[in-house]
Amino acid sequence: MGIHCILPTFDLFTNEKDKSLMARQKIVAGNWKMNKTYQQGLELASEVLPMLKDEVLPSQATAILGTPAIHLAAVAKLIGSQAGVYVAAQNCHDLGQGAYTGEHSADMIASTGAAYVILGHSERRQYNHETEGLLAKKVDAAFANGLIPIFCCGESLETREHADYISFVKAQLSASLFHLSKDLALKLVIAYEPIWAIGTGKTASDEQAQEMHAALRQHLAGHFGQNVADIIPILYGGSVKPSNAAGLFGQADIDGALVGGASLQSRDFVNIVKAAAQA
């Protein structure tokens, strides 16, 4: 396990029954992508952390900083024992070790103090040719090393306009997650990110997002059971900003956000966490 010793809250609950009594966690995860030098990243984290402490009760929302791999250990150290804030990597390799130049195993990621790993982001599916089968292995590697996967899914504009987009996204979940045991599925975080809304300034409407989130939860319930599906946080991602966060978080099946661009501005990110805490 990592050096960051405060564990995400699900670890406080020992079985499915206890957890089913709990409300779903609200989570806002920043995805810094390939932005910020080491120094700039530490500066951003140093701005965000005291604001979160002052303004957001950790019991109401969990904040996650998804940093580049080289920032992970230092940001985890800055967080220290601050409650309700965690670090996420943006990827991990599916294998444990070996001659894979430039890669990082889940074990190595966990040893930095990271608690989460973003997997299956559409940019990695597109530019790094990550397949559903590979992502299933990465999910396993993450869990085997104590990391919680934030599993991303979502359809392209072409799929949205010309195909059964709900079936498409459901199939992404089945292919990479449905081999998991119920115990592991309970720990998952899912992020629905319509590709046409990522970095475009175009957000899915509250209703469009809710339609998909409800369908995905029903799909999870069909396979893992309603108790499990009711616990899995499903985050929305795609041009989330302080101005549209409250509307999205007001939807029954939207449990937070995966935030790209706005997570690079400390005040914007903290305001989105606040919106989740108040939802």
Positions that interact with ligand PGA (CB under 6 A): 31, 193, 198-199, 237-240, 258-262
**Residue 261 C-beta: closest distance to ligand PGA, Å:** 4
Distance CA 28, CA 4 (A): 19
Q: Of all residues in this chain, which one has the CB nearest to ligand PGA in the complex?
A: 260
> Of residues 4, 121, 213, 219, which has the active-site annotation?
121
**Residue 231 C-beta: closest distance to ligand PGA, Å:** 23
CB nearer ligand PGA, residue 154 or residue 184: 154
**Residue 197 C-beta: closest distance to ligand PGA, Å:** 6
Residues across the chain: 279
Q: Which residues pair with 88 in a beta bridge?
A: 66, 116
Distance CA 41, CA 241 (A): 20
**Residue 120 C-beta: closest distance to ligand PGA, Å:** 11
Helix then strand then coil, in percent of the chain rounded to 5, is 50, 15, 35
**Residue 106 C-beta: closest distance to ligand PGA, Å:** 20
Token duo for residue 149: 């996967």
CB nearer ligand PGA, residue 172 or residue 228: 172
Inter-residue contact 143 to 149 (CB < 8 Å): yes
Backbone angles phi, psi at 98, to 5 degrees: 130, -165
Inter-residue contact 115 to 8 (CB < 8 Å): yes
CB nearer ligand PGA, residue 172 or residue 224: 172
What distances in angstroms separate CA 200 from CA 22, 64, 129, 196, 262, one per listed residue?
A: 35, 22, 22, 7, 12
* Cβ-based neighbours of 106, under 8 Å, separated by 6 or more: 92, 93, 96, 117, 138, 141, 142, 144, 145, 147
CB nearer ligand PGA, residue 96 or residue 199: 199
Token duo for residue 50: 């005291």
**Residue 67 C-beta: closest distance to ligand PGA, Å:** 13
Catalytic site residue 4? no
CB nearer ligand PGA, residue 97 or residue 200: 200
Q: Environment class of residue 57 by beta-carbon count within 10 Å: exposed (0-12), middle (13-18) or buried (19+)? A: exposed
> Of residues 123, 155, 193, 213, which has the active-site annotation?
193
CB nearer ligand PGA, residue 150 or residue 228: 150
Catalytic site residue 103? no
148-153 and 189-192: which strand pairing? parallel
Catalytic residues: 121, 193
